[in-house]
Amino acid sequence: MSHTAELIAVGTELLLGNIANTDAQMLSQGLSALGINVYYHTVVGDNPDRLKAAVELAKTRADIIITTGGLGPTCDDLTKNVLAQCFGRQLVFHEPSARRIEAYFQRLHPNRPMTDNNYQQAMLPEGCTVLDNDWGTAPGVAFEADGVRVIMLPGPPRECKAMFTYRVVPYLKDLADGVIVSRTLKLFGIGESSMEAQLRERMNAMTNPTLAPYAKEGECELRITAKAADEESAHALIDPVEADLKAHFGPLVYGVDIPSLEAAVFALLKEKGLTLGTAESCTGGLVAKRMTDLAGVSSVFRGGVVSYATEVKHTVLGVDQDLLDQYGAVSEPVARAMAEGARKVLGCDLAISTTGVAGPDPDERGNPVGLVFIGLAAPDGTWVRKVNLSMGRQRIRHIAASHGFDLARRYLSGLELK
């Protein structure tokens, strides 16, 4: 039997636009993976009447209602009170939760007495399943009434996500009607519209698995999603589609279910036992930052030089002053010399360099915003890619850094460097 969930987020801060409803996104992904349909998201403020109206409506069109927010001590447990009322339940004091809240509070504020409103958080609907919260003070709650499963989760995204993963998924497991499995191919070096155009007919003809294209920050994704009785059967549906797409897009595919280009580079460096360094101008530390976002990267990443001032390119990276004078800092020869300089100065096998105009204004030589040279120096040669990125400052920086990772990835994979 197929199930339908409705998400109700409670919080005036959402209606004022102070925060985005990212809980709804996370829960939707998670429910979809369980094969549970989500037909509506609703957001209401900290207002009992409007929350009540939303719950009454949800009862008519969903058999799972998940609320987020309104469980904190400062909002008088609005959500619990209203939901208990909607489903005719009393709130009763739950001793173990009170002890958990005390312990949590004491770990956080060893020198401050716990106030009464924190104990209020231990008042829970009678006969409910308590979803222990190991990531905050407010316990989550689940119960069944009027043919509906009601689940209340805390609002802070970190808590909400952990509670969903470790408490709600096990609680809902018996409802899952088969499984939905997704696999995502990541592509760099092709635009979304071009990718879509090449796939449109195929996508329209597919029903299970389905194929969905996405674009984000200069990259493209192709998500293959299959629905089946179990994970194994779902994967068997996905395998041939993945193989087919890889053959079609070739070296544009940099990985499958991999978080980022830099993660692909990290894996390849580890595999080959090689080290990396950076020499950055317009990206200003972003290449190094993205690399060191990855835990454990110290085994392959040596460091970098951010040579934002032209002089630093000469003094620290050893770029010839003649090159800088003749071609300017934003040029192919300087990108080359920066990458080669970084290899020497940092003692690394490979070095990525970037030099370009991130904007908002053209540089003093009149190079336009978005012109970037990206270099890769390796023991057997140096390659430079020139790109024109007509977009805003942060996107230029991000995509220029991605080109650096793409060069490294292609070099390490033995692909043509272009």
List the interface residues with a second copy, window 283-302 (CB under 8 A). Answer: 283-289, 291-293, 295-298, 301-302
For residue 44, state whether it binds a second copy (rule: CB under 8 A): yes
Distance CA 395, CA 360 (A): 12
Distance CA 21, CA 410 (A): 38
Distance CA 294, CA 288 (A): 10
Closer to a second copy by Cβ: residue 388 or 413: 388
Closer to a second copy by Cβ: residue 71 or 345: 345
Is the Cβ–Cβ distance between 214 and 223 less than 8 Å? yes
Out of 56, 93, 96, 109, which residue is the one contacting a second copy (CB under 8 A)? 109
For residue 118, state whether it binds a second copy (rule: CB under 8 A): no
Is the Cβ–Cβ distance between 150 and 83 less than 8 Å? yes
Beta bridge partners of 277: 303, 351
Is the Cβ–Cβ distance between 355 and 329 less than 8 Å? yes
Which phi and psi angles does 53 have, rounded to 5°?
-60, -40
Q: Dihedral of the CA atoms 109, 110, 115, 119 (nearest 10)?
A: 90
Which phi and psi angles does 133 have, rounded to 5°?
-105, 110
**Number of neighbouring beta carbons within 10 Å of residue 20:** 10
Smallest separation, CB 378 to a second copy (Å): 19
Interaction residues for a second copy, span 189-208 (CB under 8 A): 193
CB contact burial 202-216 (16+ within 10 A = b; e otherwise): eeeeeeebebebeee
Closer to a second copy by Cβ: residue 94 or 280: 280
Interaction residues for a second copy, span 11-40 (CB under 8 A): 14-22, 24-32, 38-40
Closer to a second copy by Cβ: residue 91 or 297: 297
Distance CA 348, CA 302 (A): 7
Closer to a second copy by Cβ: residue 128 or 357: 357
Interaction residues for a second copy, span 155-194 (CB under 8 A): 193
Out of 35, 50, 320, 417, which residue is the one contacting a second copy (CB under 8 A)? 50
Interaction residues for a second copy, span 245-284 (CB under 8 A): 278, 280, 283-284
- Give the CA diameter of the chain: 82
Do strands 37-44 and 210-216 pair parallel, antiparallel, or not at all (unpaired)? unpaired
Smallest separation, CB 365 to a second copy (Å): 14
Helix (H) or strand (E) holding 31: helix 22-33
Closer to a second copy by Cβ: residue 108 or 415: 108
Closer to a second copy by Cβ: residue 45 or 251: 45
Closer to a second copy by Cβ: residue 10 or 128: 10
Out of 88, 110, 360, 381, which residue is the one contacting a second copy (CB under 8 A)? 360
Q: Is 398 helix (H, G, I), strand (E, B) or coil?
A: helix
Smallest separation, CB 128 to a second copy (Å): 26
How many residues bind a second copy (CB under 8 A)? The answer is 73
Segment interacting with a second copy (CB under 8 A) among 64-72, 232-240, 260-268, 303-311: 303-311
Is the Cβ–Cβ distance between 282 and 360 less than 8 Å? no
Smallest separation, CB 198 to a second copy (Å): 13
Interaction residues for a second copy, span 375-394 (CB under 8 A): 393-394
Out of 3, 10, 34, 54, which residue is the one contacting a second copy (CB under 8 A)? 54
